[in-house]
């Protein structure tokens, strides 16, 4: 990818991207509602090493996994994901053995089939597509910008999923397994250096400032961003 293609979007471009934010949020909320995934808390789990897992979850908590965090969930005795965020390029071996009840799939563009699955919630489709541009719209619509001043032009998919949860009206959002100071993954500590650090730090600080319904179980993430710790978690 060229440097020109990777340049950050300016403010006017971001507003164009987010112009259908309200309609987009309503469509996804309807799909999630048909799958039984609205109305209760979400526990969003990323794959950073050594996630802090609460002893007790609020009633009706849905377990939401970023990419392959189902492996980290299994390591920590957590249930399978109720919703898993995956990429189009996800390989079968990367999700082998994981239970995928509902899937939010990032893709380049919609087909007629993916639009029908999203826009006709009575179908109760297991999978819903989210384009790259729509992911950006959720971030801009909730946080105001893509924070493209670092090495990347947008925050990570973990932050995008937090923005998504805010946009569709999830009343309580608990974040775990997302780190700004540790590399690798819970299931593979040899992986390359973590990306999106500057963008994630800036984005999560805005989350902490604007959205009190978002808490974290991670003391380090709380200290770095001001996001409040879940009440049952001790500061460490």
Overall pTM surpassing 0.85 (yes/no) = yes
C-alpha–C-alpha distance, residues 131 and 233, integer Å: 35
Maximum CA pair distance of the chain? Answer: 49
Per residue in 109-158, pLDDT (tens digit) is: 999 999 999 999 999 999 999 999 999 999 999 999 999 876 788 999 99
pLDDT at 93: 87
Residues 227, 207 contacting (CB under 8 angstroms): yes
């Amino acid at each position: 990818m060229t440097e020109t293609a990777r340049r950050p979007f300016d403010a006017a471009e971001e507003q164009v991207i987010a112009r259908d934010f309200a309609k987009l949020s309503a469509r996804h909320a309807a799909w999630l509602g048909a799958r039984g995934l609205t109305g209760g808390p979400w526990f969003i789990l990323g794959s950073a090493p050594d996630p802090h897992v609460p002893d007790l979850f609020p009633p009706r908590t849905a377990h939401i996994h970023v990419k392959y965090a189902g492996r980290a969930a299994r390591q920590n005795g957590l249930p399978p994901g109720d919703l898993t965020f995956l990429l189009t390029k996800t390989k079968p071996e990367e999700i082998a053995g994981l239970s995928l009840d509902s899937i939010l799939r990032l893709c380049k563009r919609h087909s007629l089939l993916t639009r029908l699955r999203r826009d006709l919630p009575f179908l109760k489709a297991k999978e819903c597509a989210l384009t790259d541009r729509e992911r950006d719209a959720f971030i801009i619509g909730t946080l105001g910008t893509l924070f493209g001043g670092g090495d990347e032009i947008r925050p990570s998919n973990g932050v995008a999923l937090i923005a998504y949860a805010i946009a569709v009206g999830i009343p309580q959002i608990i974040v775990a397994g997302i780190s700004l100071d540790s590399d690798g993954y819970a299931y593979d500590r040899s992986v390359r250096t973590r990306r999106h650090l500057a963008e994630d730090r800036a984005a999560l600080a805005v989350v902490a400032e604007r959205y009190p319904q978002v808490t974290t179980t991670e003391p380090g993430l709380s200290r770095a961003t001001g996001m409040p710790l879940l009440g049952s978690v001790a500061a460490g």
